[in-house]
Chain A
Amino acid sequence: MLAFIIRRLAQSVIVMLFVALIAFIVFRYVGDPIASMVGVDTRLEDQEIMRERLGLNDSVIVQFFRFIGNAMQGEFGISYRLQQPVTELILSRLPATIELALVSASIALVFGVIFGVYTALRPKAWSSAAIMALSLVGVSLPTFLIGIGLIYLFSVELGWLPSFGRGQVVDLGWWRTGFLTETGLKSLILPAITLSLFQLTLIMRLVRAEMLEVLRTEYIRFAKARGLTQRAINFGHALKNTLVPVITITGLQLGSVIAFAIVTETVFQWPGVGSLFITSVQVVDVPVMAAYLMFIALVFVLINLVVDILYYVVDPRLRVDGGAGK
């Protein structure tokens, strides 16, 4: 188990180094950052001073190692646009994105599993058919369209929920949360639903397919032949076996939720890292883009690691060295 974690950690480091290389190439070669920072009337000498101050005149190798060294200390330079340290910028935007991602991932997971199990257990019911048909909408409609649709319905027509922003936030020192105020919670509803819808339908369809598969297995037949209750069979024996692949997908999806919150954050003017990234792209604020790339890669690598460890917890067959006997 420990050896496995160490091996996976080593792999993670390699992945991160590779991503760092890409991030560095983006950082170094996407346009001339100075050109996009200055106005037409900036003197050439001033431009040269800025170039020197940002370290853009050193050799490529030096710049790459400096990039890695700084990245390991959580140092990604200074935003060209805002003239603030990038790490500080991202950290200040992070709570908004993480709260949004966690809430929508929870919605997706809870309702995805519930609907998936329901449609698997009642494959013939009209309610299942209706859920399945609706889920097609969730899979096929683009996120921004769903967001705009929800804004139109609940903000414009009904006027129940705010259409943009995060509402009032409470500053806990290092974390600004929207969970503690009414406007904060209200503002969270629409973006969270928008962001979760795709994952929800994906998880639901996965759970359904997996559950139907498991219900056909011999051990479920044997459980029935032993006279176990329907509840014990469906929610004990079948569901637990269904969850093994669901864990993988959900884990990876959590990464996607954070990474692809960009669209939702843009639609709802959500002040998270996603919208920071979009505005940075618009003005070619390369340090922010590079840092964002590294950050998302780190999120995926960490989640993958957690998913692999969760496998060990759920499936005893993988615990080769654990257990008694042998």
Chain B
Amino acid sequence: MTEPLLSLRNLTVEFPTRRGILTAVQDVTFDIMPGEVLGVVGESGAGKSMTGAAIMRLIDRPGRIAKGEVILQGRRIDNLPEAEMRKIRGRRIGMIFQDPLTSLNPLYRISEQLIETIRTHLPMSETEARKKAVGLLDDVGIPDASRRIDDYPHQFSGGMRQRVVIALALCASPDLVIADEPTTALDVSVQAQIIDVMKRLCAENGAAIMLVTHDMGVIAETADRVAVMYAGRIAEIGPVRDVIKDAKHPYSAGLMGAIPRLGANLERLTQIPGSMPRLSAIPRGCAFNPRCEHVMDRCRIDQPQAAPIALGREVACWLYPPQSDEKGQTA
């Protein structure tokens, strides 16, 4: 078995506030294999973007990684000094943000932003970097790249800007790209193109993708595996096909039921009653228990841990008690 590219081990992100410590991400554990596309889904505030930011160590103060490890190719990176971490950002792990309209500095030409990023990570001359930048813009599908490279961000449309953002994230050929809702702010007709561009380029470079989104459709088309997050915890993780067809966790089952399907003759889409708890009021036991239709007494007392139920599938739910040989770990 190959070594995972990135491993999270019990990653926990906390925000100390006047009213106590809020846990935005709790005990998140998963691996990303080289070249793999891992989808991370959940509602707003489920901690999926925060997990991405924690990997990059870009959490805004006063948030901090309270516990756990981030391991990149066998090397712990969550405790690296800032100067070392900077060399990982952009070079080993690239990141794409949600809103292409605000991701680019409005006062600098695209060329300046690209060349600056390339030369920060790679030993290249101005001319070489510019050549590479034009190549990158070509790759992400910007027509007439050699001419448009000297334009300012406001001269591009939203979709084109997100292509530029992708080019910027891929400048130094990172091994992993964290895409934080890369298509949410875009027109529906452009979304598929952007996902295609991103997926194609990462596949060409052999880069893995951690695709954070709340759009199950995007996950279904793009990801190899999917992690479902709820209230800062992993609810379920597994191959995307299996999770969509046969979600085990009642929350992910509810999410999948909310995907409209062609041909399915439904009056209404299923919906999960209630809403996700605020971070300051996460219930005891399983965070989902007040909304769960299968809730049991145990769910209100003990917090279930993600445990394997089949090959490559883990669920954090008491409906699927851990196998006997795993019991010791989860108790």
Contacts and interface: CB of A to CB of B under 8 A. Distances in A.
A227 B107 contact: no
A225 B180 CA distance: 12
Given A227-B91, A228-B116, A232-B120, A323 B155 contact: yes
Interface in B139-172: 147-148, 150-152, 154-155, 165, 168-169, 171-172
Nearest to B171: A226
Listed residue (B89, B102, B107, B147) with the most chain A CB atoms within 10 angstroms of its CB: B107
A315 B86 CA distance: 29
Nearest to A216: B60
B271 to A, nearest CB: 32
Interface in A113-163: none
Contact of B103 (A222, A230, A314, A315): A222
Contacts of A282: none
A225 B97 contact: yes
Interface string A292-326: 00000000000000000000001111000001111
B151 A323 contact: yes
B87 interface: yes
A229 interface: yes
Contact of B168 (A217, A226, A241): A226
A238 to B, nearest CB: 9
B117 interface: yes
A217 B58 CA distance: 13
Contact of A218 (B88, B89, B99): B99
B121 interface: yes
A221 B120 contact: no
Contacts of A224: 58, 89
Given A221-B97, A226-B169, A227-B89, A316 B120 contact: no
B150 A315 contact: no
Contacts of A51: none
A87 to B, nearest CB: 43
Listed residue (A219, A227, A229, A240) with the most chain B CB atoms within 10 angstroms of its CB: A227
B120 A229 contact: yes
Interface string A231-257: 010001100110010000000000000
Contacts of B107: 240-241, 244, 314-316
A324 B99 contact: no
A228 B90 contact: yes
Contact of A324 (B102, B105, B150, B154): B150
Contacts of B99: 218
B244 interface: no
Nearest to A318: B154
A323 B152 contact: yes
A218 B151 contact: no
A222 B100 CA distance: 10
A223 interface: yes
Contacts of A325: 147-148, 151, 155
A237 B108 contact: yes
A228 B90 CA distance: 8
Given A217-B102, A225-B89, A229-B120, A316 B152 contact: yes
Interface of A: 217-219, 221-230, 232, 236-237, 240-241, 244, 314-317, 323-326
Given A218-B103, A225-B58, A229-B86, A317 B152 contact: yes
Nearest to B178: A225
Contacts of A241: 105-107
B148 A228 contact: no
A128 B71 CA distance: 37
A308 B87 CA distance: 40
A225 B106 contact: no
Contacts of A219: 102-106
Contact of A317 (B121, B154, B171, B172): B154
B38 interface: no
A52 to B, nearest CB: 62
Contacts of B229: none
Contacts of A240: 107-108
B105 A226 contact: no
A57 B17 CA distance: 77
B155 A228 contact: no
Contacts of A222: 95, 97, 103-104, 165, 168
Contact of B120 (A217, A226, A317, A324): A226
Contacts of A324: 147-148, 150-151, 155
A222 B96 CA distance: 8
28 contacts: A218-B99, A218-B102, A219-B102, A222-B97, A222-B104, A223-B105, A225-B56, A225-B94, A226-B120, A226-B169, A226-B171, A227-B90, A227-B91, A227-B121, A227-B172, A228-B86, A230-B86, A232-B116, A236-B116, A240-B107, A316-B152, A323-B151, A323-B155, A324-B150, A324-B151, A325-B147, A325-B151, A326-B155
Given A226-B171, A227-B90, A237-B105, 16 more contacts: A218-B103, A219-B104, A222-B104, A222-B168, A224-B58, A225-B89, A226-B120, A226-B169, A227-B88, A227-B121, A228-B116, A241-B106, A323-B151, A323-B152, A324-B148, A324-B150
Contact of B154 (A218, A221, A229, A316): A316
A228 B154 contact: no
Nearest to B105: A219
Interface string B186-207: 0000000000000000000000
Contacts of B172: 227
A19 to B, nearest CB: 35
B86 to A, nearest CB: 5
